[in-house]
Structure 1
Amino acid sequence: MYMKSGFVFSQTDTRPMYQQIMEQIKQRIAVGDWPPHTPLPSVRELAVEIKVSVITIKRAYLELAREGVIVTQQGKGSWVNDVLDMKVLQREELMQHLEQAGKLAKSLGLPEEKILQLLKQFME
């Protein structure tokens, strides 16, 4: 059985809901919460759980399947693809974190040298 999704959506995020759902599914896969072969909730289960339309979930699953992130079979459901290149998802996840960190550092007025020093510190 799949783990509860625990999705969190921002009211200020301007992206379509299906893209936000896709991002959060990819994030769970990238960090290892949903390893290969993990069954995803059915379209209806997820729609009820996160209070969005079935059409929105279907769109997210369709796009994820097109990208090769998940596999969907009629009557059998959807699951995390076992031939997924985890490095690609992890790289995407890292880039999102770095983008957020960069924006925050800029708003704090931190010099580039200090940011690089902090990054090196966390990599040790």
Structure 2
Amino acid sequence: MNIIISNASSDPIYIQIINQIRQSILSGEMQAGDSLPSIRQLAKDLQVSVITTKRAYEELEKEELIDSVVGKGCFVSGANKDFIREQRMKRLEEKMLEIIRESKELTMSQQDLIDHLNLLFEEDNTP
């Protein structure tokens, strides 16, 4: 697992950690039962606060992506990937509703919003 922290990102460090670990799990790069670095080791490797890595792991545990075993560490959960995907879709829909409300406040038409989204989608270079 290779986590890269960007100081130029608008996302807080713990969110960057969460997103990259989540992506590794959902893409299949990490399998159920795989161990994650300890909170302290990850903090040391990334040169960030232990509090930051602890918060990231706690959030991933809330999402049921990882399990913490006292005295043994953190492991990729065996949780159902369809359930996890459904949870992510729900969060995405909430964000989309927020965007729709904001666009209405700007008096954008539905087509203007779709055109703008298509443009951004085409410009995005992420895999």
TM-score by length of 1: 0.66
User: Equivalent residue for 2:44?
Assistant: 48
Question: 1:63-114 CA distances to partner (integer Å, 9 max, x unpaired)?
Answer: 111111100021111100012325618x77xx8xxxxx8526258xxxxxxx
Unaligned runs of 5+ in 1: 96-100, 108-124
Instruction: Quote the residue 1:34 is aligned against.
Output: 30
Letter in 2 for 1:46: L
Amino acid at match of 1:70: I
CA distance in 2, matches of 1:15, 1:78: 24
TM-score calculated relative to the size of structure 2 = 0.65
Q: Which has the higher contact order (CA 8 A, sep 6+)?
A: 1
Aligned residues with identical type, % of pairs: 36
Distance 1:102 1:39 in 2: 39
1:88 to 76, 85, 89: 85
| Counterpart AA for 1:31 | S
Corresponding pairs, count: 96
